[in-house]
């Protein structure tokens, strides 16, 4: 295993120090417990949108802290949920009278720990709500979840709810928008190689050079089928089919298409795949009105990709287009 690290035990802490100095104009990092907080938090009169989870998925979540997106992110160890006390610390650091919305990916540890933190904060008089995103169409249950996993749709959810909070919408509205997005977003992922967790020192699963894993999550957990390697046309067609038949998406629908690298897939391949996906959606009469392409929710150095489709309306499009100023997403500022 070759990685640019010092000690597997200190990877996350050292990475957070780097994040803090690289983006001191946008965020700050607090220690013990570790949280990433918007530099001007708490923002009076505005809902605090907070998310988090295991590290190794960067830029998710710390890279999305800032104006128009997250008030705070709570990083756990690599592929490990943050503890309730860390989530509670993020709530206390960012939440005022307007309350907070916790965005939780549907993994068992995340759900339990964020729920516990919300209960602790509520006991102190804070209005804290939670939503659980479960956009993965591949599996109904997995090693890490009861129900579908929360994956690429998390990025879109954080942007849209963050924009609503930024413009001063009350907690009831921000929560309702979150549930709307969760109901209209679907994702599917595929792996060409497995990731290597630093403290494990070996790949999370075995995959031959001529095989792919279809339907993977973001922790290196297996998918629903292992198949021989496919051409880009064949692979993307299968991914698009899985997405559009699930919600379903149909002729005349307007969508945001998010083509995501799992960490090791280069942009030359990602744009190639994105172009195929756009063509296939157009053939079905599905209109791609907004796009996001790049490594925004990763699985360490895994080679692979995911596709996410969000059904848009005027309200969601306006919130997606709203200004954002974070390390990983920045426009309109």
Question: What is the spatial distance between Cα 94 and Cα 71, in angstroms, rounded to a whole number?
Answer: 6
User: Which stretches within the chain are classed as H helix?
Assistant: 11-22, 84-94, 108-123, 153-166, 171-184, 232-244, 267-283, 314-321
Which is nearest to 12 in space by CA: 49, 43, 42, 53?
A: 53
Give DSSP secondary structure letters for 65-133.
BSBTSBSEEEEEEETSPPPHHHHHHHHHHH--TT-EEEEEES-HHHHHHHHHHHHHHHHTT--EEEEEE
Helix orientation angle between 171-184 and 153-166, rounded to the nearest 10 degrees: 160
Pairing between strand 128-133 and 100-105? parallel
In eight-state DSSP terms, residue 215 is T
Helix orientation angle between 314-321 and 171-184, rounded to the nearest 10 degrees: 110
The residues that are catalytic are 57, 219
Q: Is 197 helix (H, G, I), strand (E, B) or coil?
A: coil
Are the C-beta atoms of residues 186 and 168 closer than 8 Å to each other?
Answer: no
């Amino acid at each position: 295993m070759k990685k640019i690290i010092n000690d597997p035990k200190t990877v996350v802490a050292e990475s957070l120090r780097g994040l803090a100095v690289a983006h001191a104009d946008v965020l700050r990092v607090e220690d013990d417990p570790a949280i990433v907080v918007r530099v001007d938090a708490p923002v009076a009169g505005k809902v605090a949108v907070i998310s988090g989870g295991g590290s190794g998925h960067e830029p998710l979540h710390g890279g999305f802290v800032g104006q128009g997106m997250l008030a705070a992110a709570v990083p756990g160890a690599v592929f490990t949920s943050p503890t309730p006390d860390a989530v509670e610390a993020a709530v206390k650091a960012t939440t005022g009278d307007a309350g907070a919305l916790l965005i939780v990916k549907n993994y068992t540890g995340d759900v339990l720990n964020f729920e516990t933190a919300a209960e602790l904060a509520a006991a102190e008089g804070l209005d804290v709500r939670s939503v659980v995103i479960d956009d993965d169409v591949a599996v109904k249950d997995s090693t890490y979840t009861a129900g579908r996993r929360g994956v690429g749709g998390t990025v879109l959810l954080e942007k849209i709810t963050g924009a609503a909070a930024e413009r001063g919408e009350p907690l009831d509205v921000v929560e309702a928008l979150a549930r709307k997005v969760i109901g209209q977003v679907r994702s599917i992922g595929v792996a060409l190689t497995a990731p290597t967790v630093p403290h494990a020192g070996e790949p999370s699963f075995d995959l031959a050079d001529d095989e792919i894993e279809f339907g993977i999550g973001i922790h290196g957990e297996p998918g629903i089928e292992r198949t021989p390697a496919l051409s880009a046309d064949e692979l993307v067609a299968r991914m698009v089919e899985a997405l559009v038949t699930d919600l379903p998406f149909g002729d005349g629908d307007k969508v945001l298409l998010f083509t995501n690298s799992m960490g090791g897939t280069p942009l030359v391949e990602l744009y190639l795949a994105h172009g195929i996906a756009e063509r296939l959606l157009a053939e079905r009469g599905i209109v791609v009105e907004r796009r996001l392409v790049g490594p925004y929710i990763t699985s360490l150095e895994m080679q692979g990709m995911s596709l996410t489709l969000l059904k848009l309306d005027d309200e969601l499009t306006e919130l997606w287009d709203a200004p954002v100023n974070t390390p990983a997403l920045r426009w309109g500022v």
